[in-house]
Amino acid sequence: MSKKRITAIAQINKDDVEDLAFGCALLGTGGGGSVGGSILEVKSAIRKFGPVSVVQLEDVAADGLVMPICGIGAPTISFEMLNNGGEAHLLRQEVERVFNKPVVAIMASEIGGSNGVEPVMWASRLGLPIVDADTMGRAFPEVQMGSFFVRGLPLTPIILVDFQGNSVTITPTSGESAESESRAFTIAAGGVALMADYINPAATMIGNVIVGSISNAIEMGRAVRRTQEPIARLTELLGAQALITGKISEIERHTHGGFVRGSVTINGTGIDSGRQVRIDIQNENLVAKENGRILASVPDLISVLDTQTGTAIATEEIKYAMRVTAMAWPCDPLWRTERALQTVGPRAFGYDIDYVPIEDSVR
């Protein structure tokens, strides 16, 4: 998996939360849920239950059960359907019942958006450490779009709970059924649920996850906080390409089938005057196009940022006339393998186009 390592952090306290949220919003590529409310929830949990230890998989007992955790559903609905604080306790209870062994650590299923931030809250509430890794290195909208599936690991039972206390255990026979069955429960639950998937012993996870995700996200936040030129700093830090700088001129956004779908159009300003870029979304930003030409596409990361602050804007929070910069940068090498592109490449989302790495598509 990813070999890029930075200085690993050992603990998350309330002073780290905003930096973590900044990085997670950026890696969310518009999806994973807005981080605004999550910041408050995580700080509150840390004040009440204490800081969260951050561990590497190698530091966890080989047979220790690690529970990847994430919210599933349409981010727009999460604004109205808040968690009740007990979902993770129920999720842990159900996981331990199904696997007949205790959970010793949790892990973010995806580091993007609130799904990268809220696991810290759940870890604090549960009194468990969190693993410095995830299964995506970004956010993707569907259940099978994770490193374990791409690596060909067997599907484990997927366990979901909702804010009313309902729970369900699914033993999927394929990646497609993992997505469709999980999505069906989520829709029945009102559009959002909490999920644990690819639950495995630590030894099984080693070599099959994106390492350093939490440390990486926090470092992004710290790096931008120290600069007066956030867009330039992020471009350097990520090896990113600026696609366009301008203002939001059109938004098409609707919630259907447990996803937010639509598009965002940016009209260029300044040196980009006369240009227009459209970004298609399915929770996350999928494809950026200009006059029919593909500028960037999944699995590379595409984010829409506030031009002044460099803060990434979630798809559900983009508003008309916002001044933004769209940028794209390379995904983890895992996602450029043949099996991965079948799972998360443009054709997996219905586009009749081949994937072209961002380094080659924007010149």
Q: Which long-range contacts link 295-298 to residues 24+ away (Cβ below 8 Å)?
A: 295/243, 295/328, 295/361, 295/362, 296/241, 296/243, 296/328, 296/358, 296/361, 296/362, 297/345, 297/346, 297/351, 297/353, 297/355, 297/356, 297/361, 298/140, 298/344, 298/345, 298/346, 298/348, 298/349, 298/355
CATH of the domain at 58: 3.40.1610.10
Same domain, 55 and 193: yes
Determine the 3-state secondary structure of 323 from DSSP: strand
Structural domain contains residue 36: yes
Same domain, 325 and 200: no
pLDDT of the residue at 3:
43
pLDDT of the residue at 83:
67
Q: What is the domain count for the chain?
A: 2
Same domain, 148 and 235: no
For the chain, 363 residues long, give each residue's pLDDT as a single digit of tens.
444 446 788 999 999 999 999 999 999 999 888 898 899 999 999 999 999 999 999 999 999 999 999 999 876 666 565 666 789 999 999 999 999 999 999 999 999 999 999 999 999 999 999 999 999 999 998 999 999 999 999 889 999 999 999 999 999 999 999 999 999 999 999 888 999 999 999 999 999 999 999 999 999 999 998 899 999 999 999 999 999 999 999 999 887 766 778 999 999 999 999 999 999 998 899 999 999 999 999 999 999 999 999 999 998 899 999 999 999 999 999 999 999 999 999 999 999 999 999 998 765
Q: How many residues does the chain have?
A: 363
pLDDT of the residue at 154:
87
> What does residue 64 show for φ and ψ, rounded to 5 degrees?
-70, 135
Structural domain contains residue 2: no
Boundary (domain end) residue, out of 171, 186, 215: 215
Segments forming the whole domain that contains residue 196: 11-215
Same domain, 148 and 46: yes
Same domain, 237 and 172: no
Structural domain contains residue 6: no
| HSE toward the beta carbon, residue 317, CA cutoff 13 A | 22
> Structure pTM?
0.93
Burial of 174 (0-12, 13-18, 19+ CB in 10 A): exposed
Structural domain contains residue 223: no
